[in-house]
Amino acid sequence: MRRDGFGDEHELFRSQVRRFVEREVAPKIAEWNARGTSDRETWRRAGEEGFLGVNAPEAYGGAGTDFRYSAIVMEELARARAHGMMVSLHSDICMPYLASFGSEEQKQKWLPGAIRGETLLGICMTEPGTGSDLANVQTRAIRDGDHYVLNGAKTFISNGQIGDLFVVVAKTDPAADPPHKGISLILVEADTPGFVRGRKLDKLGLRGQDTSEIFFQDCRVPASNLLGKEGQGFRMLMEKLQQERLCIAVSSVASCQRALDDTVAYVKERRAFGQPIAGFQNTQFKLAELATEVEVGQAFVDRLIGAHVRGDDVVKEVSMAKWWTTDLQKRLTADCLQLHGGYGFMLEYPIAMDYADAAVQSIYAGTNEIMKVIIARRMGLG
Ligand SMILES: Cc1cc2nc3c(=O)[nH]c(=O)nc-3n(C[C@H](O)[C@H](O)[C@H](O)COP(=O)(O)OP(=O)(O)OC[C@H]3O[C@@H](n4cnc5c(N)ncnc54)[C@H](O)[C@@H]3O)c2cc1C
């Protein structure tokens, strides 16, 4: 079925991205998963091909398109299971902070390199002591003359080893009441003295992602690295979380489709009791139900993409999509693994990694419980 909101020009772009992913990304995935990180050369190539910062302003080297093109890049990477290369984090989660809130000087300095795939981006929100409760971050950025001095610890930071520039959530006014008013966003380059990369964390899934600890130890950055105004950090984060969560929903549905397609192919091949297991009614009903849910999820996500491109406030609906599609992804990968029998438990079968990779989708970018808190609040409850 043709998708609403995606025309010929989008499909042309999709075929270009797919060709690039098949030729230059897919062959590297096994190595990334083994090493626990992607490689800079592939990022640079993606930049060269124009697949990074597709929404970023043309004045800085971006393609100036809309979020539909970002969604296509995410979908094609999810289709290839290229989770090590989190283009959405770089292009659609971190880059918009610079593009929307950066000063002209900041944009000139960092956007062109980010779009070329030379300056890789990350965001440091989560700390060992707090994730969901963002207003409670303990990392401090205290003004000292023309500088901020950062101290604190962050964890679970994607692109933590490979990243060059990080948006850091820190308290510039630790005494602020309410606490979220003391939060600011500071840009920190990874080669700044006092920026310390910690362990690359060993994870259940997303094996190709270098999720890491980051420490700030008397890390001095120029005051001009402040993004927007002091005390506005929380507001900026809230503004950008709609897109971050939509990215997760987009990739979730694409990952579901891939796992489903592979499972349909598998059950046609695998035989039991003298027939392909596709012949059992249980297999047919299970896959028919899952295929229906993927269509429902895709229709909802496509509607939200359209609304997001128009600039609508769809925080409530995006929160719905984020929890529902990621929940679907977890159920779907579990059911598809079951249909693979023992082979589903073997890592040589992609469904095993799909199952492991799905687990995090309901956790990051705001847990699914937090999504329901937001929905309930917007319904006027609590
Ligand atoms: C692979 C991976 C990559 C990540 N990448 C990044 C990154 O690049 N940058 C970054 O900053 N962070 C990143 N994170 C962190 C992620 O965003 C946090 O893990 C997430 O926000 C949850 O925070 P937490 O782990 O502290 O869990 P907690 O906040 O401790 O939550 C624990 C449990 O309590 C529940 N809970 C908490 N508050 C409520 C409430 N009010 N009502 C009901 N239930 C509640 C949660 O839903 C959860 O089930 C990443 C995490 C992972 C696993």
Separation of 320 CA from ligand 1 center, angstroms? 17
Q: How far apart are CA 44 and CA 336, in angstroms?
A: 35
Q: Name every residue whose Cβ is closer than 8 Å to that of residue 229 and which is 6 or more positions away in sequence.
A: 184
Q: Is the CB of 157 under 6 A from ligand 1?
A: yes
Terminal Cα distance for the chain, rounded? 40
Give the ligand 1 atom nearest the CA of 365. Answer: 17
Q: Is the CB of 94 under 6 A from ligand 1?
A: no
Q: CB burial class (10 A; 0-12, 13-18, 19+) of residue 202?
A: exposed
What pTM was computed for the model? 0.97
Per-residue pLDDT band for 382 (boundaries 50, 70, 90) equals confident
Percent above pLDDT 90 for the chain:
99
Percent above pLDDT 70 for the chain:
100
Q: How far apart are CA 45 and CA 13, in angstroms?
A: 16
306-338 pLDDT tens trace: 999 999 999 999 999 999 999 999 999 999 999
Phi and psi for 356 in degrees, rounded to 5?
-70, -40
Q: How far apart are CA 361 and CA 353, in angstroms?
A: 13
Give the ligand 1 atom nearest the CA of 126. Answer: 11
Q: Is the pLDDT of residue 282 over 90?
A: yes
The helix (run of H) or strand (run of E) holding residue 213 is strand 212-222
Q: Is the pLDDT of residue 205 over 90?
A: yes
Q: Is the CB of 170 under 6 A from ligand 1?
A: no
Q: Is the pLDDT of residue 187 over 90?
A: yes
Q: Which residues are catalytic?
A: 244
**Amino acid at the residue 156:** F
> Across all residues in the chain, what is the average pLDDT?
97
pLDDT on residue 284: 98
DSSP 364: S
Q: How far apart are CA 69 and CA 240, in angstroms?
A: 18
Q: Which two tokens stand for residue 10?
A: 């989008």
Q: Which two tokens stand for residue 347?
A: 């890592």
Separation of 131 CA from ligand 1 center, angstroms? 5
Separation of 362 CA from ligand 1 center, angstroms? 9
Q: Which two tokens stand for residue 43?
A: 């990022």
Tell which residue, 226, 253, 230, has the closest CA to residue 326.
253
Per-residue pLDDT band for 214 (boundaries 50, 70, 90) equals very high
